[in-house]
Structure 1
Amino acid sequence: EKVKDRQGNPEIKRIQTMHNRNTDCLAVMNLKLEYHNTFTNYPLE
């Protein structure tokens, strides 16, 4: 049983992968928002 736990449950790995993808997506959205705010506050003229 412990060996199986160490290898990892495929279902848990799948959920972790989905969670990581969602986190990456949020991080990208936050970066885009910061980028947009920077250029809104300091327009390049």
Structure 2
Amino acid sequence: MFNKNSGLVAVWVSLIINGTYTVDQVPKISNLKEVVTEVIEDLNK
């Protein structure tokens, strides 16, 4: 299970922020997409 401090979550968040990928392109590995979405939403508050 991934959490907000997981390295892979940080990588995907940075790729999304830089515009390389979108949230829809995050692979469906365990709860990765859900955690990445949550971090992005927190950053947009």
Regarding TM over 0.5, the answer is no
Q: TM-score range by the shorter chain?
A: 0.3 to 0.5
> Which one has the largest radius of gyration?
1
Q: TM-score, normalised by structure 1?
A: 0.36
Q: TM-score, normalised by structure 2?
A: 0.36
Higher helix share: 1
